[in-house]
Chain A
Amino acid sequence: MEKKLKVLLIEDDTIEIMKLNRTVSTLDIKHDIIEANNGEEALRILKEEQSLPHIILLDLNMPKINGLEFLGILKNDDTLKYIPTIILTTSNNQKDLLECYRIGIAGYVLKPLKYEDYVSKIEKLLAYWSINELIKA
C-alpha cells in the first residue's frame, strides 16, 4: 500500500521549492514536505525533529554547506546514514555523479528544463519510494 512520505527537501531556490510543493499538491497522496534552505538548516531540523524524514531530496548547488558536504556529514552519522537520499540537481557533472554514489545515495535525478517533465519525474520518484519499505525511526 502506498503510504504518505515525510520528505525533507533541501533546496535554496524558492521556485524549486514551489515546484515541488505544487507538484506534490497535485498528487493523490499528500506527502509531508519539510523545507530546509541549506545544509545547516537541514542538520538542525534533523536533530530537532521528533521523527526523521523517510527520504531526503538534496540539491547539490547550495550556499554554505553544499550538497556533497552535507551528504558526507549525513553518511558519517550512525543514525542519519540510513535515510535514503536522492540527489535532485541540474548538474550532470560526471565527477559529481561519481562522488555522490561513492559517498552513498539512493538516487540521482536531473532537473529537466520543462516543468511538465519535472512533474513527471517527481511523481515517479515519490511513487517509487512510497511503495518501498523504509526504516521507521
Chain B
Amino acid sequence: MSQEQLDILQRALARERAARKQAEKILEEKSAELYQVNKKLEESHAELMSLYDKTNSQLQGVFENIVDAYVIMDLWGNILKMNDAAVKLLGFNDVKTNSNLMELVDPKEIEKVATSFKTLMEKGVITNFKVKIVTKTGEKKLAHINASVIYEKGIAVGAQGIVRDITVESDYQKSIEAERQKYMSIIDNMNLGLVEVNNEDEIQFVNQQFTEISGYSKDELIGQVGGQLFPVDKDKDIIVLENEKRLKGKSNSYEIEVNTKSGEKRFWLISGAPNYDISGNVTGSIGIHLDITDAKRNTELIQEQKRELDVIINNSSIGIVLTQYGDILKTNATFQDLLGYSESQLNEFSIKDLSFEEDYPESKYYIDKMNLGEIDNFTVNKRYKKRNGSVIWAKTNVNAVRDNDGNIKFQVALIEDITSERERTLIIDMINNLTKSILGKTDVNEIAWEIVNNIAEYLDSEDCVIYLVDHNNNTLEQIAVYGEKLDEDNKIRNKLTVPIGEGIVGSVVKSGISEIIKNTSKDKRYIVDDKQRFSEITVPIISEGRVIGVIDSEHKDKNYYTKEHAKALESVASLVAIQLRTAINIRERKKAESKNEHLLLELAKSNDELQEYAHIVSHDLKSPLRSIEALVSWIKADNSGKFDDVSLQNFDLIATTLEKMEQLISDILTYSSIGSETQEEQEVDLNVLIDELKQILYVPDHVSINVLNTLPTVKGDKTKLQQLFQNLISNAIKFNDKDSGVVNINVEEKKSFYQFSIQDNGVGIDKKYHDKIFKIFHSLNSSKESTGIGLSIVKKIIDLFKGEIWIESEKGKGTTFHFTLKKS
C-alpha cells in the first residue's frame, strides 16, 4: 500500500471521525428533541398521509394509463397503492387491498429479495430484477421488476415499482432453446450424415454421423471442399453438376462412390437442398448423406441369393409349385418333368386338374384348417395325373404364405415323388400280410382267397382272380376271386374254365411269362369274363418249373398296371408257389385218400360178395356134378350086366372127369378164400404140421420126405400153413419121375425171417417158366392130379405172410422152392 494511498485512507478516516463527532454532537443535540421530533413525526406522518392522499390523486392520473402493474409500497413492503394491472397480476381483489408484498415472494426467493431490497435502498433504484412470486390466487409467476425509492424531504419513505409478468416470455425462450437442443440432438444422433456448405462448397457444419461415415473429425472437415475431398475421381463430375443445380435452388438426390479417410470405398446417397439467408439468397446447401454401401451390397447379395435360390429351386429333386387359390402360378423344372408338362402348360391348370377326386377330401380337410389359420402347413400323400395318363404318388407338403393380416397370399407345395417308395412299402406290407395270413394254411382255396384279397388291396383293383392249372384236362380253373365275380354267399359267380393256351391267362400258362396288357380292347386274346376291363396283369405261379396257377387282375382304366406291379406279383407268386404246390398235393392226396378209403370199402364189400359168390358158384357147379354122378351110378346100377367093358370104362372116365371137375372147383374156392377167411392166429409147430401132412398125403413108396433141420414154431393160420406145405410137398411128390424120389425140407433162421426150402429130384422146371408158374391156372403138366392152381395158392399164402418165394430148378434134375416167412 503506497503512502499516497495511506494518506488518502488516513484523510478519509479523519473525515469520518470528524463526521461522527459531528453526528454525535447532533445526536446529543437532537436527542433531547427526539420526543418532540417523534411527536412531530407522528404529526408529519399524518401530514404525509394526507399528502399522500393528495399525491395519490395526482399520481392517479399519471399511472392510470400505465399498462404494466404499478405498485407503491412503504419501506416494510406494505402496499400503499397499486393500479388495476397490479391487482390482476398479483391476484388481489381490488386496489384497496392491504397487503405486504413480501408475502407474495416465493419462499425460496426471500434471500434474493432481501439483497435486492438492500440494493434498492442503497442505490435508490433496481432494474431488471426477476423474482418468482406466488399470487394471492396461488398462481406461480415470474415477475420482472423495475423499482425506485420515494424520498420525502430527502428521506426514503417508500418505493414504487413497475412489475411485469414474464412467465410466458421466459417459457417461450426456454422452449426455443429446448427445440434447438432437440434438433441439434437429432442432427447429431441421426443416422444420416449432415453437411452444410457455403457457395464455395466449403464445409461449414457437419454432424456427428457424418464424421462417422467419413472417418474425419469435425475440425478436419470444416473449411474443406466436400466435392474434392470425398468422391472417387470418376464421380467428381457428378458433384460439380449437382452443386450447380443446387445453386440454382434445386433440391436433388444422387448416389456417388467416395473415399473415406481410411481410403475405404463406400457408396453414399446424398440428398441436397439449397440454403438461403433471410433475404432469400442462396448461401450454400445442406446435404444429407446416407451410407448405402451395405444396403447396396445386400441388394447385390439378395440378387445373387435369388439367383442361387432359383438355381436351387430349379435343380431341386423335389417338385415345387406356387399356387394361389388352387391355381398354379409357378412351377420348377422337377415338377414339370415329374408330370411331363411344360411350365406354361402347367400355368393353365389348377391343382385339382392334376389330382384324383378320391384324394380331395383329405386335402380339403387340411386346406380348410389352413384357411382358418389353425395350421400353416400340412403333408399328404396323394396322386397326380401325368400327361401320359399314368399316375404318380407324391408326398405333398403345402405351406401357407400369409400377408400381414394373416390371409393366405400363396401356397407353396413341395412335391416329392414317392411312387416307388410307396410301391415298395405297399409291396412289403402286402407280402407281410399275405405271409402272415397264409401261414400254416394247407387248403388251396383258403390260400387262394388270401392271395386275391391281399393283391386286390395292393393293386387297388376291383378284380383279382387265382386260376389253378388242371394238368389232366389242360384247363385253368378259377379257384378264388375278388370283386364282382363274388356273389352274396362268397361263391364264385359263373366259374370260368379256360383251356390252356387260350385267352391271356391261358397263354401265360403256356409261356410261363408275366404279361401286362395296357389295352385289352387291342388284344385279341382277351376273354371278357364278368365285364370288359381295359388293363390286365397276368402272372404265372411256377413251382418246380411247372406253371401251377395264375394270378390275374383287371382294371377298368387303360394303362393301369406297371412293371413294379408285375414284379410284386411275381414275388407273391414265388412266395406262394411252394405253399400252393403243397396244398395242391395235400388236396390231391386227400382226394386220393378218400377215394382209396372208398375203394377199400368197396373192395372189402366186393371181396365179401365175391367170397359169397365163390361159394354159391362152387355149390351151383358142384350140384350138377353130383347129380350127374348120381344119375350115372343109377344107370350103371339099374342096368347092371347090360353094359360092355368099353361102356363101363367110359362110365369110369365120366366119374374121373367129374372128380377132377369137382377138385378144380374146390381149388378155386380155396384160392379165392385165402385172405378172406379170418382164422385166429396160433402158434404152429411146423414139425408137427409136417408129420400130420405125411399122414394125410399119399406118399408113394419110392419117395422119401426128409426134414433136414428142426423146424421152427411160427405164428399164423394153421390151415394156410398146412395148405402152403401141402401144395409144395405134394407137387414135389407128384412130379417125381425118379426111381428113388427125395423130398428134402430145410430151414435157415435169418434175423427177421425163416427161410425154408423144399427140394426135390423130380422133373424140374424149364427156366423160361419160372416166372409163370405162380400164376393161376398155369399148369405145366396136364396131369390129372394137377389143376394149376396149387402154386398160385402157395404164392398167395406167402404174400399173406409177407414172405417171398422163388425157385431154383433145372429141367430133369429137380426143383428147389425157397420161401421166407416173417418172424412175427
A-to-B contact residues, CB < 8 Å:
13, 15-16, 18-19, 22, 60-61, 89-91, 93-96, 111-116, 118
- Residue numbers in B under 8 Å from A118 (CB-CB): 626, 630
- Residue numbers in A under 8 Å from B633 (CB-CB): 114-116
Q: Is the Cβ of B662 less than 8 Å from the Cβ of A113?
A: yes
Q: Is the Cβ of A91 less than 8 Å from the Cβ of B630?
A: no
Q: Find residues 283-306 in chain B having any chain A CB closer than 8 Å to their own CB.
A: none
A18-B626 Cα distance, complex, nearest whole Å = 12
- Residue numbers in B under 8 Å from A91 (CB-CB): 615, 618-619
**How many residues on B have C-beta within 8 angstroms of the other chain's C-beta atoms?**
21
Q: Is the Cβ of B627 less than 8 Å from the Cβ of A113?
A: no
Q: Indicate whether A113 sits within 8 Å of B658 (C-beta atoms), given known contacts A16-B627, A89-B619, A90-B626.
A: yes
Nearest Cβ distance between residue A87 and chain B, in whole angstroms? 13
Q: Is the Cβ of B615 less than 8 Å from the Cβ of A115?
A: no
Q: Is the Cβ of B629 less than 8 Å from the Cβ of A113?
A: yes
Q: Is the Cβ of A13 less than 8 Å from the Cβ of B616?
A: no
- Residue numbers in B under 8 Å from A112 (CB-CB): 626
Asked whether B201 is an interface residue with its Cβ less than 8 Å from the other chain, the reply is: no
Q: Which residue of A is nearest B621, CB measured?
A: A90
Q: Is the Cβ of A13 less than 8 Å from the Cβ of B623?
A: yes
Interface string of B649-664 (1 = CB under 8 A from A): 0000001001100100
- Residue numbers in A under 8 Å from B24 (CB-CB): none
- Residue numbers in A under 8 Å from B620 (CB-CB): 61
A115-B626 Cα distance, complex, nearest whole Å = 7
- Residue numbers in B under 8 Å from A96 (CB-CB): 615
Asked whether B625 is an interface residue with its Cβ less than 8 Å from the other chain, the reply is: yes
A-B contact pairs, 22 of them (CB 8 A): A15-B631, A16-B623, A61-B616, A61-B619, A61-B620, A61-B623, A89-B619, A90-B618, A90-B619, A90-B622, A90-B623, A91-B619, A93-B615, A94-B677, A95-B611, A96-B615, A111-B622, A111-B623, A111-B626, A113-B659, A115-B626, A115-B633
Q: Indicate whether A15 sits within 8 Å of B630 (C-beta atoms), given known contacts A113-B622, A113-B625.
A: yes
B-to-A contact residues, CB < 8 Å:
611, 615-616, 618-620, 622-623, 625-627, 629-631, 633-634, 655, 658-659, 662, 677
A1-B655 Cα distance, complex, nearest whole Å = 38
Give the residue among A90, A94, A95, A114 with the most B Cβ atoms within 10 A: A90
A118-B655 Cα distance, complex, nearest whole Å = 15
Q: Is the Cβ of B619 less than 8 Å from the Cβ of A113?
A: no
A98-B623 Cα distance, complex, nearest whole Å = 22
- Residue numbers in A under 8 Å from B616 (CB-CB): 61
- Residue numbers in A under 8 Å from B631 (CB-CB): 15
Nearest Cβ distance between residue A23 and chain B, in whole angstroms? 10
A18-B627 Cα distance, complex, nearest whole Å = 10
Give the residue among A18, A112, A115 with the most B Cβ atoms within 10 A: A115
Q: Is the Cβ of B634 less than 8 Å from the Cβ of A115?
A: yes
- Residue numbers in B under 8 Å from A13 (CB-CB): 623, 627
- Residue numbers in B under 8 Å from A18 (CB-CB): 630
Nearest Cβ distance between residue B3 and chain A, in whole angstroms? 194
Q: Which residue of B is nearest A19, CB measured?
A: B630
- Residue numbers in B under 8 Å from A114 (CB-CB): 629, 633, 655
Nearest Cβ distance between residue A88 and chain B, in whole angstroms? 11
A19-B619 Cα distance, complex, nearest whole Å = 17
Nearest Cβ distance between residue A124 and chain B, in whole angstroms? 18
A118-B630 Cα distance, complex, nearest whole Å = 9
Partner of B634, one of A22, A60, A61: A22
- Residue numbers in A under 8 Å from B629 (CB-CB): 113-115
- Residue numbers in A under 8 Å from B615 (CB-CB): 91, 93, 96
A15-B633 Cα distance, complex, nearest whole Å = 13
A24-B60 Cα distance, complex, nearest whole Å = 209
- Residue numbers in B under 8 Å from A61 (CB-CB): 616, 619-620, 623
Nearest Cβ distance between residue B706 and chain A, in whole angstroms? 33
- Residue numbers in B under 8 Å from A19 (CB-CB): 630
- Residue numbers in B under 8 Å from A111 (CB-CB): 622-623, 626
- Residue numbers in B under 8 Å from A113 (CB-CB): 622, 625-626, 629, 658-659, 662
- Residue numbers in A under 8 Å from B618 (CB-CB): 90-91
A115-B651 Cα distance, complex, nearest whole Å = 14
Q: Which residue of B is nearest A13, CB measured?
A: B623
Q: Which residue of A is nearest B622, CB measured?
A: A90
A22-B634 Cα distance, complex, nearest whole Å = 10
Give the residue among B616, B618, B623, B625 with the most A Cβ atoms within 10 A: B623
Nearest Cβ distance between residue A93 and chain B, in whole angstroms? 4
Nearest Cβ distance between residue B771 and chain A, in whole angstroms? 33
Nearest Cβ distance between residue B441 and chain A, in whole angstroms? 49
Nearest Cβ distance between residue A115 and chain B, in whole angstroms? 4
Nearest Cβ distance between residue A96 and chain B, in whole angstroms? 7
Nearest Cβ distance between residue B170 and chain A, in whole angstroms? 156
A112-B741 Cα distance, complex, nearest whole Å = 33
Known contacts A94-B677, A114-B633, then 13 further A-B pairs from the complex at CB < 8 Å, ordered by chain A residue: A15-B627, A16-B623, A18-B630, A19-B630, A60-B619, A61-B619, A89-B619, A90-B619, A95-B611, A112-B626, A113-B622, A115-B634, A118-B626
Nearest Cβ distance between residue A63 and chain B, in whole angstroms? 12
